[in-house]
Structure 1
Amino acid sequence: MEIILLILAGAVVYYLYVTLQEYLKNPIAPIPKDTNSQASKFEEYDLSADPYVNIDPLVKLRKTEQGLIVALIGSFLNSSKKLENSKQDFIKNTLIDGLIENMSENMNGFEDSKNALNKILKAPDEDLQSLCKMFLQATYGEYKKSLKFVEFLFILAYVDGELDEEEKENIIDIAAFLELNNDDFNQIYDDFEKENLVELTTTHSEALKILDIQEPIEEDVLEKKTQITIKNQIKSLLDIKNIGKSFAKNSFLKLKETQFAYNILSSKGN
């Protein structure tokens, strides 16, 4: 019995000896800290996406679809020609104000959104390409909104009766950044060019009727009536029921008639 125990003890000692030798030949090396590992990388945290952090409402508004639209318009105006005609400026400003007013009426969660959108319009803080990229993200899956926005830019560009080369290039850039289909863009371009060639023969009496105004004409009343007419047209133009309709074919000529009527009745000189 003692011999058996000695044999077992010897076997255990031999096993431990072999194991120790193997360990000494292959020591366990400590795992070095990988400074480039994913866990050690710190990505910049977007505070505006944190619901528990108070962010300036204007910063939040800039990232909405409406905020991006007015920022894009602001950038477009800054990079396009400046109007020298006060009548054209009045019409263009009324168009933009009508758009902003319409959007602000349908916004929730922002105090005095119209005033805030006007601040963004006057001080867009991103370049055109970045704004277009954010607009695509904000309107993902809603391609027609990009089409409608480009159409609205054509309306602004044609306020003075022509599309100059600088405006054309800016709109082409925006359309490309918004990934508009070439055929869709060409159709919009051709439609506006065709409608703009239509000569208006509005008479003085017809102008009074278009703007729902009576003589004698007071300048402030004329401007107010023109603003009301244009803003109503913008509201109809932006109605969701008309999103599939061409601005050029269904709204542009009416806006031109309103502008023409205002020019006829206004006592302001060119």
Structure 2
Amino acid sequence: MRKVKIGLFLVLGFVVLVEVAGRFYGLTSYPLYDASTEFEYLLKPNQNTTIYRNRFVTNEFSMRSNPVLAQDSIIVLLVGDSIINGGNSIDQDSLASTLVEKELLRKYGKTIRVLNISDKTWSPDNVVAYLKKYGTFQADMLLLVANSGDAFDPMTFQPIVGVASSHPAENDWLAWPKLVVKAWDTLEDRYFRKPETEKKRVKAPEEPQNLVKGFSDLDSLSKKLQIPFSVYLHLSQPELTNNTVDPGGLVIEEFCRKNQIPLQVDHMGLDMFNDDIHLNSKGQKALAADLLPIIERGLKL
């Protein structure tokens, strides 16, 4: 009986320890999402949470930025996907948008907002739909950070919020089940999961005429607002390693050339990535350094 009690005590102690560790790393405070019939999904507004020890903030318009204020007089719309959003692995203060805002304030002594309008796997189509709903915030410049995968990535409206772990609709009460699930998924992927036959899907040919409409819509919007529009093409690790640009990126480059849209192609160091495409904090800092002169030229500072 004494051994049973000791065993139960050790199990309980382990569970408590795992729970404390899970809460310390924010496993009960993931940033949450809302589904949308207009742009598929969006981070919930007014979040201020800590995930993996990184501060994650959204404002009243679900941007990963501080609140939009009435006195904000110079505004840059920085639009894109998870590259600029940063995700759970990037602290709010390490985002390129935050770093650029701070540097503009330091250099020019005035507040120039760099509003971070982005979300995971968004393409320009999602961005355009967002701007149709929320407006353009009296913007003075539009700056798109794109990657080769955006070129042929239309909205699909497949259910994802509350379905995929990447887009939770609510948080769990306890952290330890999340750790158990993550550990099991890792083991299953490595040792038990049988390879699945890849499902065939119809995909549009990677040709210029199939470029998602969002690119031309953003160009048209900037002309309507009479504000500068620039594109920053972020290359993936494989593209950098192979010293090439994927077909989608080439189509984006050609679109910008034909429409006389200023384009800059990045050349990040391979140590600036968290994975094949997403940047770590060092990469976000390098991105900020690249975006700053683009914004300065666009605003004629």
Do both share a fold (TM > 0.5)? Answer: no
The structure that is helix-richer by fraction is 1
The structure that is strand-richer by fraction is 2
- Larger C-alpha radius of gyration, 1 or 2? 1
TM-score using structure 1 length: 0.31
